[in-house]
Structure 1
């Protein structure tokens, strides 16, 4: 038995409550190492000594290249649990508890693993609609000026004596006038990059958190936008920039003008007086910033007055404009205490509002149910880039990476992750595919059939490309767009593919809320086959990234799927795919 591979972490994604009754326990072991694994659990407050334990057989719920992840979900009769694991490998039988191995149980219940109490307040509960969301990300400056058009013109306004600029002419009413396009494509949520008054076109250097930037319109325009999108069944998530502000934000203005006498000195980090706004873009400022960007001083949200102000901002836009949530910029660089306070404030206004943190790394720290419901899943993009775009890993490595990505979070958080292929901060995925349209389509299909909220950056469906910022934030090419409420006619290949993939996801509950498992992910192969399953229904998706036609193999289909005889010998062309549904209504091959 490979003891070094065994891992369990109490009170984490390895031991958590799904709801007020059901528990999930996991244990990691070396791949193929164990013959069996059992969970033994008992009442932590049991009046008998030794504790009376109950046994449950654990199954291998997932595998990556090195590990098996054993899991069991059950309805617990107890609110307080002590527990241990029994591991079997051939003739070897070991008990695992307290991070140590033993050959026998002890009488002292305190030595076992503990789940002290199943508190309802500690449950991870993303909004119920998150798993059903298909998100469209809109960079407002680049999207639309009116119905199916964008002016492409720069703009400049004076706002409270300060200059604000736009680059391509997008407006909030322009978004509203294209709500029918978003609905027809199948999107039911939008994430809009910053809309507040700010100096530069990207609006991440905010100068007023309570009003819309005049380049985009007015506060009333935004109110109309939210109302219009809601009427089309589309939820609205906006960008919250609370890690930093613009250097013309009133609080920072006062610090520059009054120095140590300013009442906002403790709103900022590492100030050196006098505070000087360097005009040289290469200058390193003598105050903490977002990166070294002198125009974006970092906010000290650990200070009471600053925290109160920005929590009030969060509540204001929920209460006054009925938005459905916040995407939170540079979230990993803001102190935890502020996020817990912000989370509580937002939930008090709207218990179904979503909070999505911009965290590029593994985000388990922020997904404990007290800070965020979701994060932008850039690891999803990273793994897809290697498999679909660069073609530098095989199916085994790809499956291992997406398995690790799923198993690092609680199930609730997995279904709420905002999965993406690209965004306003990275190159367009289609450009990374280097003209391989079929490979790009397979990546899109994977996005739409993987657990979590798929997010599409504006224009991806219309073939927008770009490797550098000015290109991947280019104006929406409305001349390529089509809207047809009748048959799927008039669409370009890529737009139609997106429309069909989104429709498939929204029609099939198993794709939104079902389990996930690899069926074929062989070393040395780039044929990846996986399934989604929910109750009596299963959906199989086979993606062939090989350069040649592949034949589906009866050997690995045997015993794993409801439809194996139907698929035996099915020919899958290079960069081709097949989707098969099997369930109460029989079998259906989508392609």
Structure 2
């Protein structure tokens, strides 16, 4: 070893990763014995906006020509901290900073991050070890039920047709075509979801809206009439509970629809909207100027922005008997927050307080596309994961890491991406991370894997290009490999409806096509069920620590294990088409005693991995000095 420090190795930093406020954390560096020191090395720590702290490091021990120096930090404040090490030799000051993913190097690199979260921060247990299933309500399942009070300007389509995507003469896509998926349709498929191992349904917006995506809310307190009634939602939650399934809602609180009871730009509603008069009770929610001009979300005039910190709006959403209270009282288990970056800290504080009134098991998940621990939005360092706001986030960094690895990126790069998030996020957050490979905002993974890149393609191209049989088979094979990682890495797998049966789709609206009932890829469906079965039968997937063991060009392998009991499950994935072999006598498995091959081919002390296959092995990890690498 020639490095000075390794933030993933608990001989150098203990404990690994983020820590609680007031929790002791020990840092150790190693310097060659012949290094002349003018003074003892120091650990330098600071938070953004505050002065540096200098902690002297003392000699811990000497080994193999090196001197180990150590210091202990007990942080008084929650927040993202940064640190590095410094020493002076012959009058010259030197620095040890992060040179790659985890190693300290001399006189170059960047600072290390240490996330310090609240002393009492915990996340809901109900999601840990579970499986989430995301549903775009209009496109999952139609009960065939006739609903009342459906607006006459909606265009009803036949199930399975291509969604509308062409703009009108003014360049606007109205998204006014509907396929009739509804809450009763979802309820009828609860046995199907139970069979998949689903424990939580995440519903894209269900509130009354006048576009099919329903992100332009018209009435926060009413289910869209085409989906059913508020009572239908209560019934869905109650019946889902009998299957061990919770239901969370999509909270769209940064903007409303222009066509809404609040704004009423088009006069659809009888009440006085903000666009119509300053006398509207909702006028103060919005920002107007000039001749009826107003601030809108990303310049889209059908989505007027709201001032979330306006007392009237905050009370309406987060107050006593407000919107959040109402849906929680009907059975919602929590919320996924649309564009959490655009929700101010004060509003998020109020929102969490309101949701947690119903118990610590209620959940708040944010849509954040980057590393949520150090995210800056609109010039503000966000504090999503410090204990006062979010329980979890949509795990886009894992999604990109999984897809890049399956498409050929180096195994070490994959490990570094995964470990970087695990190092920065509180462990309790990691256990409920929303791990997906597809969502309603991005092309489906099977298309990403099997077809051409679509970022530079037109909507007309996307509408006219299905995957060829060869592309589909390639995409399906790679999707299977990706799902192994999605299901067994730390966090909670989130299946975007239809991925499990081979539903295709480029970007919006083609990623929101109807579920192909009766035309499912049954092979892919059975594969997904098998992954779910393995996951729910082994408790280490709920909160187990991860250790990467095999990092070869063809095979990646890791262990999920319980720190206390040593119980472990080892996952091996062969991402290529040729057969591979992994010997259980390899040094990387020295800590493990194997018991059962749960899935895969065993030949004596070797695991045989046919092309594009995985193996899962039950084991016990012997207790030794813990390391995250």
Shorter chain as normaliser: what TM range? 0.7 to 0.9
Asked if the contact 1:7/1:29 (under 8 Å) is kept, the reply is no
Aligned-residue offset at 1:567? 6.5
2:148, 2:279 → 1: CA distance?
Answer: 36
Q: Structure 1 residues 214, 392: CA separation in 2 closer, same or farther (over 3 Å shift)?
A: same
Q: Structure 1 residues 380, 154: CA separation in 2 closer, same or farther (over 3 Å shift)?
A: farther
Aligned-residue offset at 1:197? 0.5
Aligned-residue offset at 1:468? 2.8
Tell me which residue corresponds to 1:577.
Answer: 614
- The alignment status of 1:529 with 2:529, answered yes or no, reads no
How does 1:183-332 map onto structure 2 within 5 Å?
183-253=194-264, 254-258=273-277, 260=278, 262-269=280-287, 271-275=288-292, 286-312=293-319, 313-332=322-341
SS at 1:141 equivalent: helix
Tell me which residue corresponds to 2:546.
Answer: 516
2:152, 2:200 → 1: CA distance?
Answer: 30
Asked if the contact 1:135/1:190 (under 8 Å) is kept, the reply is yes
Tell me which residue corresponds to 1:382.
Answer: 400
Mark the runs of 5 or more structure 1 residues left unpaired by the alignment: 31-37, 41-50, 58-69, 89-93, 100-114, 276-285, 482-490, 585-591
1:397, 1:241 → 2: CA distance?
Answer: 35
Mark the runs of 5 or more structure 2 residues left unpaired by the alignment: 32-40, 44-54, 62-67, 88-92, 99-113, 155-173, 265-272, 374-381, 451-471, 596-601, 622-629
Tell me which residue corresponds to 2:525.
Answer: 495
Aligned-residue offset at 1:337? 0.7
Per-residue displacement from partner, 1:526-583 (whole Å, max 9, x unpaired)? Answer: 3111111112322111111134222214444352432399774433222121111124
2:356, 2:153 → 1: CA distance?
Answer: 32
Asked if the contact 1:157/1:164 (under 8 Å) is kept, the reply is no
- The alignment status of 1:562 with 2:573, answered yes or no, reads no
Number of residues paired by the alignment? 498
Tell me which residue corresponds to 1:548.
Answer: 578
Tell me which residue corresponds to 2:347.
Answer: 338
- The alignment status of 1:477 with 2:516, answered yes or no, reads yes
Aligned-residue offset at 1:255? 2.5
1:395 equivalent among 411, 427, 439: 411
Aligned-residue offset at 1:460? 1.2
Asked if the contact 2:129/2:541 (under 8 Å) is kept, the reply is no
Aligned-residue offset at 1:273? 3.1
Q: Structure 1 residues 15, 385: CA separation in 2 closer, same or farther (over 3 Å shift)?
A: closer
Aligned-residue offset at 1:261? 5.0
Tell me which residue corresponds to 1:43.
Answer: none
- The alignment status of 1:158 with 2:197, answered yes or no, reads no
SS at 1:250 equivalent: coil
TM-score by length of 1: 0.74
How does 1:91-110 map onto structure 2 within 5 Å?
none
Asked if the contact 1:15/1:25 (under 8 Å) is kept, the reply is no
1:219, 1:25 → 2: CA distance?
Answer: 53
Per-residue displacement from partner, 1:236-273 (whole Å, max 9, x unpaired)? Answer: 10111001100022332333212x5555343123x223
1:429 equivalent among 431, 438, 445: 445
Asked if the contact 1:85/1:95 (under 8 Å) is kept, the reply is no
Higher relative contact order (CA 8 A, sep 6+): 2
- The alignment status of 1:439 with 2:478, answered yes or no, reads yes
2:309, 2:6 → 1: CA distance?
Answer: 39
How does 1:11-50 map onto structure 2 within 5 Å?
16-17=19-20
Per-residue displacement from partner, 1:366-414 (whole Å, max 9, x unpaired)? Answer: 11111100011111111111111xx241211111111112112111111
TM-score by length of 2: 0.70
How does 1:122-137 map onto structure 2 within 5 Å?
122-137=119-134
2:306, 2:571 → 1: CA distance?
Answer: 46
Aligned-residue offset at 1:290? 2.0
SS at 1:543 equivalent: strand
Aligned-residue offset at 1:24? 5.8
Q: Structure 1 residues 56, 341: CA separation in 2 closer, same or farther (over 3 Å shift)?
A: farther
Q: Structure 1 residues 289, 563: CA separation in 2 closer, same or farther (over 3 Å shift)?
A: same
2:437, 2:230 → 1: CA distance?
Answer: 32
Aligned-residue offset at 1:23? 5.6
Q: Structure 1 residues 479, 561: CA separation in 2 closer, same or farther (over 3 Å shift)?
A: same
